[in-house]
Structure 1
Amino acid sequence: MNSPSAKPAARRRMTSAAALLLGSLILGGCGTAAPSSAPAGDTPSAMQSAAVPPSTSPSPSKSTTAAVAPAAKVPSPARPAPAPVSVTVPAIGVQSPLVKLGLRQNRSLQVPPDGPGAPAGWYSGSPSPGETGPAVMLGHVNATDGGPGVFANLRGLRPGAEITVHRADRSTAVFTVTRAAAYGKNNFPTFEVYGNTKGPELRLITCDGYDPATGLFNDNYVVYAKLKAKSAG
């Protein structure tokens, strides 16, 4: 899985009502489209303290008690969602820490390490698993030594299989697989994979369609899952 190139839109911190802004990003090694921008949501406006009128000193000729205006209560801004730290998929024997993937200086998307035993990665421009929108996780199908990658057995997942994501605040998000599909680089359904969703969803993505003549992967395999339950930390 090589690094893709991207033309991302401006990044904004997502909220629980995040939406994914899409552009064009090609995953070179797998030859597929991928998300090019951070999710953007209805970002809360900057909270400003309500002005408190200055107190007025009473006239010396009057014996009055000045009323003290209560301090304005300023709402606290929403805390960012905790990042995922590991993913477990019992049906295919996956138990992996998650590395954080972002954008490189050339605006290309980072990919997970590719050595033996390399972990899966979470694209930090997508929602944290358990928050509204499609959280995106990438993993290799093979390793540099020819062995299996962390997502080598994604094709073995069936609808109903569970995926558990552990988050930094010790909360968990459990997803249920709904379907999976392989897509060629020329017909990758970008909006279907990365577009807005009404609730929390998850995408597990790996390379697929190996061509022995070229030694390249021409496709991607995508597992779709929806949130089943979320526990507090």
Structure 2
Amino acid sequence: MTTRNPGRRGGLGASTAAGVLLALSLAGCAAGQATTPDDGSAPSASVSRAATSPAASSAAVVPSPTIAAAAPAAAEVPAAPQLPGVLGASAPVTLTIPSIGVRTDLLQLGLEDNGSLQVPQDTGNGAPAGWYSGSPTPGERGPSVMLGHVNALGGHKGVFADLRKLTPGAEISVSRTDGSIAVFTVDHGALYPKNAFPTLEVYGNTPGAELRLITCDGYDPATGLFDDNYVIYAKLKA
């Protein structure tokens, strides 16, 4: 499987963003079939993230009221907020979620020539999860994006079938090519209709290192398709 990197260090913007959104909106996870778990939710140019600086990401500081005094006093300068720690760039190798019994090797997913997102292929034993190489590596500043199927061929469970069981505080570990392990803790999960996917909320700037796990949800037996996406939001623990 070939991959392409649409400007990962600057964020998730792709040069063919409009085509990506269109192509993915026409795809869907079908029952017993491995297709994209991220349809309708690829990042667009509108959420391309410029390099984050402490000045840009810090909250505005409201100065204290000035109190009149006989002699001028030195102005008190509030300490700048500290940004969360981040790791250097290093591609992910494996993903482990102990609380739901997941351990999967990670594919690197890029974009097809038509602008659609590459999809983990199920050859009969269930497809592994994949890291979207257009997103930051796990542990870098920003949201690192991983995709996984909710189902597998033959009616079996997909690698991300139990994401809904994750609760706040659950740990997610990602081993990286440099030998380090980035440990994240679950913040929350959210269900979104595919036709109203909140692109900016999922893919937009974050002050620290975060993780997004995305799969399909909302199976419609009448169509054999999944109408929703389920997203886990997690933050780097240390």
TM more than 0.5: yes
Name the structure 1 match of 2:64. Answer: none
Higher relative contact order (CA 8 A, sep 6+): 2
User: Which blocks of at least 5 consecutive residues in structure 2 are unaligned?
Assistant: 30-38, 53-87
Residue 28 of structure 2 aligns with which residue?
Answer: 29
State the partner residue of 2:72. Answer: none
* Contact 1:180/1:223 (8 A) holds in 2: yes
CA distance in 2, matches of 1:175, 1:154: 15
Q: Identity over the aligned pairs, expressed in percent?
A: 64
| Aligned match for 2:204, one of 192, 195, 200 | 195
Gaps of 5+ in 1: 1-7, 44-79
Shift of 1:112: 1.1
CA contact (8 A) 1:13 1:39 kept: no
> What is the DSSP-based 3-state SS (H/G/I as helix, E as strand, rest coil) of the residue aligned with 1:186?
helix
Higher fraction of helix = 2
Give the CA RMSD over aligned residues.
Answer: 2.4
Counterpart among 87, 91, 113 of residue 99 in structure 2: 91
The structural deviation recorded for 1:40 is: 5.5
Report 1:19-58 matches (<5 A).
19-21=11-13, 23-24=17-18, 25=21, 26-27=24-25, 28-30=27-29, 31-36=39-44, 41-42=50-51
Contact 2:7 2:13 in 1 (8 A): no
1:71-150 pair list within 5 angstroms: 81-115=89-123, 116-150=125-159
* Mapped partners of 1:40, 1:81: distance in 2: 16
Q: Report the AA paired with residue 145 of structure 2.
A: V
- Find the counterpart in structure 1 of residue 195 from structure 2: 186
* Equivalent pair of 2:93/2:176 in contact (CA under 8 Å): yes
Letter in 1 for 2:28: G
Greater share of residues in strand: 1
What is the TM-score with the length of structure 2 in the denominator? 0.70
Please state how far the C-alpha of 1:118 moved relative to its aligned partner. Answer: 1.6
Greater radius of gyration (CA): 1
